[in-house]
């Protein structure tokens, strides 16, 4: 029914590539602009990061890469929570100003 995609299959990147990407983003954008997300709906996008049970390996590799505890907390969710809180505050301010 469907034609096979004409491009060759590309092997999944390794978890080390995720760390290299984090390092690059920290270098060009700063630690406050890095965050992780996941989409574990049955796809295998990163070798060594097949499901959420593998997240401790990211932490271990970040420690190995000499990130501080506070930097790791930012990467693993702190930045995301900060952005959500800022958006929530902004939204509630705009809502109050409309009344």
40 vs 50: CA distance, rounded Å? 7
Q: Which is higher by pLDDT, 12 or 57?
A: 57
In a domain, 83, yes or no: yes
Kindly state the helix (H) or strand (E) to which residue 26 belongs, with its residue range: helix 15-29
Mean pLDDT for the stretch of residues 11-15: 88
pLDDT score of 24 more than 90 = yes
In a domain, 64, yes or no: yes
Give the range of the structural domain holding residue 65, as residue numbers without chain letter: 54-99
As for how many domains the chain has, the answer is 1
pLDDT score of 76 more than 60 = yes
Give me 95's structure tokens: 């809502």
In a domain, 74, yes or no: yes
82 vs 43: CA distance, rounded Å? 29
Mean pLDDT for the stretch of residues 26-50: 83
In a domain, 17, yes or no: no
In a domain, 24, yes or no: no
């Amino acid at each position: 029914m469907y034609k096979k995609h004409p491009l060759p299959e590309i092997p999944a990147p390794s978890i080390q590539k995720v760390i290299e990407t984090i390092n690059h983003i920290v270098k060009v954008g700063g630690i406050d602009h890095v965050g992780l997300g996941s989409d574990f709906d049955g796809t295998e996008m990163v070798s060594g990061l097949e499901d959420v049970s593998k997240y401790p390996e990211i932490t271990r590799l970040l420690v190995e890469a000499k990130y501080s505890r506070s930097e790791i907390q930012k990467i693993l969710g702190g930045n995301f929570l900060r952005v959500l809180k800022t958006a929530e505050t902004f939204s509630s301010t705009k809502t109050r100003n409309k009344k």
